[in-house]
Structures are given as structure tokens and as C-alpha cells.
Structure 1
Amino acid sequence: MFNPIEIPFGATMLFNVVDLKEGVTVEDVEILLGEMCNVVKNNYGDDNGGFIGGQVYRNAGFISEEGSVGSDDSHKNKRVKQNMGDIVIVTYWKSFEQHEKSHADKLFKEKFSQLAAYCDDTYEVGYEMLWQGVPEEH
């Protein structure tokens, strides 16, 4: 469950931002998140399903001044914090089409709709891998 994952070059990454309703905490949805992730891992992880691996992150609230640029620095932190969400779910797939097929499946939709009931908003953006690397050993 907490093993490292290896992402093959060319994988598709989906970045799902989850904005919880006011008064709802990450702890309130932890079990639902775990159940939803297990549905994906256990049902869509073969060649036909296309799921490679995933990660769930809690918003820690810090923003890198060194890694952030823009013309409107006075509002940058406020704007970023408003768009960060409370949780992000990062998943890796062999293809975007396989991701969409899995998420249209009744089994997944049931779990996701339970999580969505606690959310003001969720949105998922797909990315195609351009580069990956690890430090060279010396």
C-alpha cells in the first residue's frame, strides 16, 4: 500500500484537485479516499485497465517563493492558495482513454460520488510526460 512506484516513460498523469466544503476536514474523507483508491488499484491495474500507480497529497499550505514567478507578486500567494484545493490525487495511466474508461465505470463512480458529496469542487487535469530522471550515482 505504501510502496514506492515506478512510472514508465510516456505515462499519462492525471492531477485531481479536491476542494472540500467548509468544515469538512481531510480526516473526514480519509476512509472514502482509501476506498476509492483501492477500487482503482484493484480493478483497473492490468493492461486493459491501464492504471500504473498513484499518490494522494494533503495541502500543506506552503508556497515556494523561489519556484514561483509572475507579474503580480503582491497577489500571487492569495491567488495560488485559493486554487490549490485541500487534497490532490495524482494518478498515472498508460493512456488517457484508459483513465476515462475506468472513471466512467459504475464501480468507480459510486466511490467518487461519495467523496464528491463532501466537496465544493473537484477538477482533474491530464498531462503527458515530457521528461523524467533520477540523480546519477557517483
Structure 2
Amino acid sequence: MFEPIQIPFGCVMLFNVVDLKPGVKMEDVELVLGEMCNVVKNTYGDDKGGFIGGQVFKYSGFVSKEGSVGAAPDDEDKSMKQGDLVIVTYWKSFDQHEKSHADKVFKEKFSELAAFCDDTYEVGYEMLWQGVPE
């Protein structure tokens, strides 16, 4: 569950921003989120399903002024929509991702998480480069 993941070159990455409703805390969604991630891992994690691996991050409030171009928002600036959580998943193809997320099993678990949310959106990226220190 907490093992490192290896991401093969040529995969796609989906970045799902999750904005929780006011008053909802991480503790409120931990079980639902864990169950949803487990369904993805165990149901779609093969060559046919295309799931490679994933990660969940919570927003911690820090903003990199060194990694920003132009006017970097400060920690108090709420005009930048960052979400409370992000779910990052890696797939062999975008089509496999879409097929899994259209599946009844996934939709049931995702709808449980969505009940705690004001908004979620998911954007996809194709890998262009990866590397490790030599």
C-alpha cells in the first residue's frame, strides 16, 4: 500500500483536483477515499485495465515562489484554485482510464467521495520526460 511505484515511460497521468465542502475534514473522507483507491488498484490494475499506480496528496498551504513565473500567489491568495486533495493516477492509456471510470464499480465508489465535495475535476497529461539522479 505504501510501496514506491515505478512509472513506465509513455504512460498517461491523470490529475484529479478534489475540493471538499466547507467543514469536511480529511478524516471524514479517508475511508471512502481508501476504498475508492483500492477498487481502482484491484479492479483495473492489469494489462486489460491499464492502471499502473497512483498517489493521493493533501494541499498543505505552501506555494513555491522560486518555481513560479510572474506573480506567485501568496499563501493567503484564494484566487488560485488548488483543491484540498489531488489524486494522481498513471495509466497505460487514456482510453483505459475512461473505460474504468465509466464502470459501475468505480462510479459507485466515486459518488461516495463526491458527496463530500463541492467540486472535482480531472485533467490528463502525456509523459514527455522522466529521470532520476545518476
Higher helix share: 1
1:125 and 1:114 mapped to 2: Cα distance?
21
Tell me the TM-score normalised to structure 1 length. 0.93
**Which residue matches 2:57?**
57
The aligned amino acid for 1:76 is P
> Aligned match of 1:114 in 97, 112, 116?
112
What is the CA distance between 1:76 and its match in structure 2?
A: 2.6
State the identity %.
76
**Which residue matches 2:11?**
11
2:128 and 2:60 mapped to 1: Cα distance?
27
**Which residue matches 1:76?**
73
Over residues 81-110 of structure 1, what are the superposed CA-to-partner deviations in whole Å (9 max), with x where a residue is unaligned?
A: x41100000000000000000000000000
1:10 and 1:27 mapped to 2: Cα distance?
35
Q: How many residues align?
A: 132
1:24 and 1:68 mapped to 2: Cα distance?
30
Which 5+ residue runs of structure 1 have no aligned equivalent?
A: none
1:79 and 1:85 mapped to 2: Cα distance?
10
**For the Cα contact (< 8 Å) 2:15–2:123, is it kept in 1?**
yes
Structure 1 counterpart SS, 2:13: strand
Which 5+ residue runs of structure 2 have no aligned equivalent?
A: none
2:31 and 2:61 mapped to 1: Cα distance?
22
What is the CA distance between 1:69 and its match in structure 2?
A: 1.1
> Aligned match of 2:127 in 95, 107, 129?
129
**For the Cα contact (< 8 Å) 2:63–2:73, is it kept in 1?**
no
Dislocated runs of 4+, deviation >6 Å:
none
Structure 2 counterpart SS, 1:76: coil
The aligned amino acid for 1:54 is G
**Which residue matches 2:99?**
101
Over residues 4-57 of structure 1, what are the superposed CA-to-partner deviations in whole Å (9 max), with x where a residue is unaligned?
A: 000000010000000000000111000000000000000000101000000000
Tell me the TM-score normalised to structure 2 length. 0.95
Over residues 58-84 of structure 1, what are the superposed CA-to-partner deviations in whole Å (9 max), with x where a residue is unaligned?
A: 1011000100112xx2x733256x411
Structure 1 counterpart SS, 2:73: helix
2:19 and 2:106 mapped to 1: Cα distance?
19
